[in-house]
């Protein structure tokens, strides 16, 4: 009788702990699941192409653990856009850009329209300049392989802008920006806008005159 009583607790423990059934809700990766409680015999695991907003996604199948969701500022033509980041769910696209060779600006409040314009390249630079009746000139240097973007004319390497006028010296830029909107290297065309302020020195590094160039707009073909 004592021997029988000795084995009863052992049998009871085995009965209650050794036969737990594996399920799809036990918090364990078992059975033939591909992840904890999903895949295999269970429901499919969440993924980035299941058409469901799950995991920690910010929208259906994007964001969180998945690739970033499309936006109107990602530089990619997606989500039904008519152009890159415009049209469709984004703001309307601007009118189609048509290249014309020109250079215009406002120089100290006076309109400037170039009647001579040209450009050329060397090993590292694309140089272009314009002239208005040999009285006022604008000179620019940009990197030969410049991409579309906004650039500081003073702090960005290889960028430069200068102004020259008859019976005076060359004015060197001390503040300004240039926006490159088009650079077609196969057709050798460059277009964009610019604004800058420049000064003429007395030969000893002291300014004797300044000039403000605003509303600059250009399209130039180079060789």
Q: What is the mean pLDDT of residues 60-85?
A: 88
pLDDT bin (cut points 50, 70, 90) of residue 10 is very low
* 172-221 pLDDT tens trace: 999 999 999 899 999 999 999 999 999 998 778 788 899 999 999 999 99
* 128-173 pLDDT tens trace: 999 998 899 999 999 999 999 999 999 999 999 999 988 888 999 9
92 HSE (CA, 13 A, CB side): 3
Give 143-211 as a DSSP string: ETTPPSEEEETTTSTT-EEEEEETTS-EEEEEEEEEEEEEEETTTTEEEEEEEEEEEEE-SSS-EEEEE
> In terms of pTM, does the model score above 0.95?
no
Is residue 56 assigned to a domain? no
Domain that holds residue 122: 102-221
Q: What is the mean pLDDT of residues 121-125?
A: 95
Q: What's the domain count of the chain?
A: 1
Is residue 19 assigned to a domain? no
Is residue 93 assigned to a domain? no
More confident residue, 11 or 141: 141
Q: Is the pLDDT of residue 91 over 90?
A: no
Determine contact, residues 213/197, Cβ cutoff 8 Å.
yes
Is residue 175 assigned to a domain? yes
Q: What is the mean pLDDT of residues 19-47?
A: 87
Is residue 48 assigned to a domain? no
């Amino acid at each position: 009788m004592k021997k029988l009583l000795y084995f009863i607790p052992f049998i009871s423990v085995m009965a209650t702990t050794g036969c737990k059934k594996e399920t799809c809700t036990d918090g364990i990766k078992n059975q033939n699941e591909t992840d904890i409680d999903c895949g295999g015999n269970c429901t499919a695991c969440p993924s980035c192409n299941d058409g469901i907003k799950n995991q920690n996604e910010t929208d259906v199948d994007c964001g969180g653990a998945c690739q970033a969701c499309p936006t109107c500022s990602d530089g990619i033509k997606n989500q039904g856009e008519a152009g890159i980041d415009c049209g469709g769910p984004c703001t309307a696209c601007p009118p189609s850009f048509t290249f014309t060779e020109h250079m215009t600006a406002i120089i100290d409040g006076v309109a400037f329209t170039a009647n001579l314009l040209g450009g050329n390249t060397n090993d590292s630079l694309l140089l272009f300049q314009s002239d208005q009746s040999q009285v006022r000139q604008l000179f620019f240097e940009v990197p030969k392989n410049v991409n579309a973007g906004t650039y500081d004319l003073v702090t960005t390497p290889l960028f430069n802008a200068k102004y020259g006028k008859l019976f005076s010296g060359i004015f060197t830029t001390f503040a300004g920006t240039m926006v490159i909107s088009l650079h077609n290297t196969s057709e050798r065309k460059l277009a964009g806008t610019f604004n800058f302020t420049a000064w003429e020195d007395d030969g000893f590094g002291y300014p004797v005159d300044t000039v403000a160039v605003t509303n600059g707009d250009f399209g130039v073909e180079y060789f």
